């Protein structure tokens, strides 16, 4: 299988590559349009800030390429947020693959334990849809690190609850995305990546 990881100015892309290597799959980390277009599957990872990252994607023409891809595409963390229509982070218009909007978590004061932002750690996912999940993954824990979230909407493929319910995953046509880090989510995350590779 010919697998491309989109290379851009985001942190920790190597950890996605490491997770794929553990599954016995080698991917190419590349920003080359032709290579990305020809790949059987594409992963769009990311840790970083929305507005600077969108600016970078535009400069590289990746903002035109990504929404146009026809093969299965998996966005991770910031990747998911950038695939939405808009992010409150830097008031940024994003790729618009999903109509869902990205908002900042507002901590709720007065709860027994003051809610902390970022949402960091292991949380459970439910209401699973789309080919990257299977019934065995319902209520399983996955690893999150984020301060912004995609609201629950038409394309929500998994729900997580932190302060409020939000999209832990999105799916539309050939586009899949997870807010959590499957590459850091133990065997559950490995299963999700494996499912994506089988699509």
Residues with active-site annotation: 77, 181, 183
Residue 182: phi and psi, rounded to 5, are -60, -30
- Residue 69: other Cβ atoms inside 10 A: 19
Nearer to other proteins, 167 or 185 (CB): 185
> Using CA atoms, how far apart are residues 97 and 199, in angstroms rounded to an integer?
19
Residue list 56-85, contact with other proteins (CB under 8 A): none
Residue list 20-39, contact with other proteins (CB under 8 A): 21-22
> Should residue 143 be labelled a site residue for other proteins when binding is judged by CB under 8 A?
yes
If you search the block for the tokens 């995350």, which residue do you land on?
189
Interface stretch with other proteins, choices 35-43, 66-74, 85-93, 176-184 (CB under 8 A): 176-184
DSSP reduced 3-state for 80: helix
> Using CA atoms, how far apart are residues 185 and 34, in angstroms rounded to an integer?
31
Interface stretch with other proteins, choices 16-24, 65-73, 93-101, 126-134 (CB under 8 A): 16-24
DSSP reduced 3-state for 16: helix
HSE at residue 191, side-chain half, CA atoms within 13 A, is: 12
> Should residue 159 be labelled a site residue for other proteins when binding is judged by CB under 8 A?
no
Tokens standing for residue 66: 């990504």
- According to CB under 8 A, which one of 19, 39, 69, 95 is a site residue for other proteins? 19
If you search the block for the tokens 């990305």, which residue do you land on?
36
Pairing of strands 27-30, 3-6: parallel
> Should residue 189 be labelled a site residue for other proteins when binding is judged by CB under 8 A?
yes
Number of shown-chain residues binding other proteins (CB under 8 A) = 35
Is-cis flag, bond preceding 55, omega within 30? no
> Should residue 125 be labelled a site residue for other proteins when binding is judged by CB under 8 A?
no
> Should residue 120 be labelled a site residue for other proteins when binding is judged by CB under 8 A?
yes
Nearer to other proteins, 85 or 124 (CB): 124
Residue list 80-119, contact with other proteins (CB under 8 A): 107, 113-114, 116-119
> Should residue 54 be labelled a site residue for other proteins when binding is judged by CB under 8 A?
no
Nearer to other proteins, 34 or 187 (CB): 187
If you search the block for the tokens 């990747």, which residue do you land on?
79
> Using CA atoms, how far apart are residues 156 and 179, in angstroms rounded to an integer?
11
Q: Which residues bind other proteins (CB under 8 A)?
A: 11-12, 14-15, 18-19, 21-22, 47-48, 107, 113-114, 116-124, 141, 143, 145, 161-162, 181, 183-187, 189-190
């Amino acid at each position: 299988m010919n697998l491309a990881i989109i290379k851009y100015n985001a942190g920790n892309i190597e950890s996605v590559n490491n997770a794929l290597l553990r599954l016995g799959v080698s991917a190419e980390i590349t920003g080359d349009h032709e290579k990305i277009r020809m790949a059987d599957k594409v992963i769009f990872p990311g840790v970083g800030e929305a507005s600077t990252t969108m600016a970078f994607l535009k400069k590289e023409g990746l903002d035109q390429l990504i929404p146009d891809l026809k093969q299965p595409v998996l966005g991770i963390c910031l990747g998911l947020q950038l695939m939405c229509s808009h992010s409150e982070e830097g008031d940024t218009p994003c790729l618009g693959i999903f109509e869902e909007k990205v908002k900042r978590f507002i901590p709720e004061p007065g709860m027994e334990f003051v809610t902390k932002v970022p949402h960091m750690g292991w949380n459970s996912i439910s209401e699973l849809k789309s080919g990257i999940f299977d019934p065995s993954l319902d209520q399983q824990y996955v690893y999150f690190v984020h301060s912004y979230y995609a609201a629950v909407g038409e394309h929500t493929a998994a729900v997580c609850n932190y302060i409020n319910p939000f999209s832990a995953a999105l799916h539309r046509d050939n586009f899949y995305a997870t807010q959590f880090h499957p590459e850091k989510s133990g065997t559950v995350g490995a299963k999700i990546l494996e499912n994506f590779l089988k699509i």
